[in-house]
Structure 1
Amino acid sequence: MKRRPGKSGKGRRIFLAAAAAVMLAGSVSGCSGKISSLVSEGMGTEGFSDAQMMLVVASERNRCQKIYTDQIWDIAVDDAGTTFQTYLLAEIQKFLKELRVMNLLADERQISLSAREKEQLNALADSYYESMSEADRAYTGASRDDVYTMYEAYHRANRLVDALTQNVNLEVRDSEARVITVQEASFAQESEAQAFWRRVTEDGIDFQAAVKESSLDGTAEKSVGRGERQKAYEDAVFALESGQISPVFQDGERWYVVKCVNDYDENATLERKQKMALERKNQAFRQIYDSFAENHQVESNGGFWERLSLKDGAESETDDFFEQYRQVMDGEN
């Protein structure tokens, strides 16, 4: 196996990496109302047909399997023994529910697609369907029209996010997002920290070598962003310039000496600015979405999910349903 999925980052939200609508996906809870018409005769969970849902299932199943191999499905992802198969299916089901609710909200807000957008989505549906092998089509049961339906629903969700957050201030200052690179030594006693400080400042001992010899945590260089550590720590380290070593300072129950390796990591700061802007956008959107979702819970027919196994579909290889969308539609919203 290449690597075991974790509880954060890529392993934690592995299939939710497509675009704004997917990134905004989270749990829909506390809903009281139900819309029975969402699941009509012949339709599956969340108002999508089985074949339409299988387009997402197949793409994410195959992408995960290519990353982790086919041994991934029975691996436990938490202390309760939840398998990766159970976890991923639950995430996909949650995503599909939210996608449906977002389209209901798009209906209410009268979010419609232009002729140009429909033309692009039709071309995208043609391209994706043509890229599917016979095994892919057999596994999903999807038609070309099913592909278009899912791309249209996904695109309308993205359009909704943009429309509801267009007046949100997404500007993030460098001072808010600044990321620095440091080497850190920590100690249980102030006297130990003072002795370390003298070694690396007065005796000229290499800082990282000294860390490995005497610090409680012999760590490699680490990136630190504003707001990630306690105030005492940030006050000490963000005042440093590249190459400087801090005085001994206390943060919580530990004493620290920190060397600043880079007082402004430009690439990391830019990446963090983008992440913080997206978080602001998500928060603004969620305030509207959550209120709407409370009264628009989507019913599920559990039969589809109960009989679904990600161990099936051995010959299916399609894994870029969202990637093809990004390549065509990003920048067009």
Structure 2
Amino acid sequence: MIKNRYTKAAACAVLAVSMIFTGCGKKEGTKTADKKAETTKTIRLERGDITANSYVIKVGNAGVQYSEVLNYCYLLKNQYESSFGSELWKYKIDDKTTIGDKAKKEIVSTLTQLKLIGVNAAKQGVTLDNDEQDQALQDAQKLIEKASKADRKKYELNVNSVKELFEDNILANKMFYVATDDADTNVTDDEAKQIKISYIELITKGTDKNGRKVNMNAAGKAKTYKRMKEMLKEAKKADNFSDYAAVNTESRQSEVTIGKDTKLLDKEAVDAAFSLKKGKMSNVIGGKNGYYIIYCENDNDEDATYARKEAIIEERQTKMFKEKYSKWLSESSVDISNKFWDVFKL
């Protein structure tokens, strides 16, 4: 139980590093370029002892001070230690890596990304407007008010430094939309269409809802097919197919909303499902991993279809942004102080 708890925490904590802030905007501001971008020509990585004001990461002409790293550490620790305890970071993911090790690398990666995006935002004249700056200030003030005196000292927390971290994140979100403004947002109804079905699956290859491994030979499949034919007769007589399916299916779920690209069912079952009208039931369908009986609850779930359209657009935007970010990264140098890793602790 403890192992599962920490394993889940590991995934959450690492993911949270890049999502710990909120804020999103789609309009370009009219403010002058960020003052940090104007002073980056004098940045030098620290080669000696690391202090709060030492530059420990350099991304192109932008720098990250150790105090910024500490600010980020506080945000992450504050979010997870209340639920999982301070020992979380010592838990081993594998023989050589702890959750803390992984989180530290992700913190460095995220700060690097924010600075690189900020550099390119400055090049394109993308800045924060007054409302966005005010929001960052308000969020920073709230965080500082809640922080203990000891944590403020340990993690170099002050309103200005935390405000800048929030601003970096808001700017990165803003740049996401600027950089993906020409992404294809045309999604057809057919491409995004979602339907709701109830179904019975008897598994011939895979893992059933009880965790049992199944890999049937031809004889086993023949018996299963015969059994499914009998179940089809029973299903047609059932007062409620959904209830009947929930009791008799071997799959982990019996009611789902799916699109044509789903991997939950075999392709043969998906094709059959999309051919059904609302309130209609299929015959027995044979697939690569099992046999199915499908009942169509809704042959056009409009809300789910709309949500899928939005998701497809977001996937396209994300793909485009990753490609542009990779180009920015290839055109920039990223350097980290050798002394930094010696002192960097969560």
* TM-score, normalising length: structure 2: 0.70
Where does residue 335 of structure 2 map in the other structure? Answer: 299
Deviation string, structure 1 residues 183-216 (Cα, Å, up to 9, x no partner):
3313432333323222312577966546645x54
2:226 pairs with 1:191? yes
Higher relative contact order (CA 8 A, sep 6+): 1
The question of whether the paired residues in 1 share the 8 Å contact of 2:197 and 2:273 is answered with no
The question of whether the paired residues in 1 share the 8 Å contact of 2:22 and 2:170 is answered with no
What CA distance in whole angstroms lies between the structure 1 residues aligned with 2:243 and 2:91? Answer: 37
Where does residue 218 of structure 2 map in the other structure? Answer: none
Where does residue 57 of structure 2 map in the other structure? Answer: 45
The question of whether the paired residues in 1 share the 8 Å contact of 2:22 and 2:169 is answered with no
What CA distance in whole angstroms lies between the structure 1 residues aligned with 2:200 and 2:10? Answer: 24
Compared CA separation, residues 220 and 233, structure 1 to 2 (3 A): closer
Deviation string, structure 1 residues 140-192 (Cα, Å, up to 9, x no partner):
11333212322232222222222212232335445433253433313432333
- SS of the counterpart of 2:333? coil
Where does residue 15 of structure 1 map in the other structure? Answer: 17
The question of whether the paired residues in 1 share the 8 Å contact of 2:235 and 2:244 is answered with no
What CA distance in whole angstroms lies between the structure 2 residues aligned with 1:260 and 1:291? Answer: 46
Query: What displacement does 1:137 show?
Result: 0.8
Query: What displacement does 1:290 show?
Result: 0.8
- SS of the counterpart of 1:40? coil
The question of whether the paired residues in 2 share the 8 Å contact of 1:193 and 1:255 is answered with yes
Compared CA separation, residues 80 and 246, structure 1 to 2 (3 A): farther
Of 141, 147, 160, 1:145 maps to 160
Larger Rg: 2
Q: After superposing the two structures, state which structure 1 stretch, 292-301 or 200-209, moved more.
A: 200-209
The question of whether the paired residues in 2 share the 8 Å contact of 1:184 and 1:221 is answered with no
Where does residue 88 of structure 2 map in the other structure? Answer: 72
Where does residue 50 of structure 2 map in the other structure? Answer: none
Matches within 5 A, 1:1-333: 3-6=5-8, 10=12, 13-17=15-19, 18=21, 40-41=45-46, 42-46=54-58, 47-77=63-93, 82-115=97-130, 117-177=132-192, 178=194, 180-188=196-204, 189=221, 190-202=225-237, 208-209=243-244, 212-213=247-248, 215-217=249-251, 219-229=253-263, 231-265=267-301, 268-301=304-337, 303-310=339-346
* TM-score, normalising length: structure 1: 0.72
What CA distance in whole angstroms lies between the structure 2 residues aligned with 1:94 and 1:173? Answer: 36
Query: What displacement does 1:94 show?
Result: 1.3
Q: What amino acid is the match of 1:240?
A: L
What CA distance in whole angstroms lies between the structure 2 residues aligned with 1:288 and 1:299? Answer: 20
- SS of the counterpart of 1:95? helix
Higher strand share: 2
What CA distance in whole angstroms lies between the structure 2 residues aligned with 1:117 and 1:265? Answer: 37
Q: After superposing the two structures, state which structure 1 stretch, 285-294 or 174-183, moved more.
A: 174-183
Amino-acid identity (%)? 20
Unaligned runs of 5+ in 2: 25-39, 47-53, 205-220
The question of whether the paired residues in 2 share the 8 Å contact of 1:89 and 1:305 is answered with no
Q: What amino acid is the match of 1:224?
A: I
What CA distance in whole angstroms lies between the structure 1 residues aligned with 2:238 and 2:203? Answer: 19
Number of residue equivalences? 295
- SS of the counterpart of 1:44? strand
The question of whether the paired residues in 2 share the 8 Å contact of 1:179 and 1:264 is answered with yes
RMSD: 3.6
The question of whether the paired residues in 1 share the 8 Å contact of 2:23 and 2:170 is answered with no
Query: What displacement does 1:11 show?
Result: 6.5
Deviation string, structure 1 residues 15-51 (Cα, Å, up to 9, x no partner):
3334588xxxxxxxxxxxxx99765342123521111
Compared CA separation, residues 165 and 125, structure 1 to 2 (3 A): same
Where does residue 26 of structure 1 map in the other structure? Answer: none
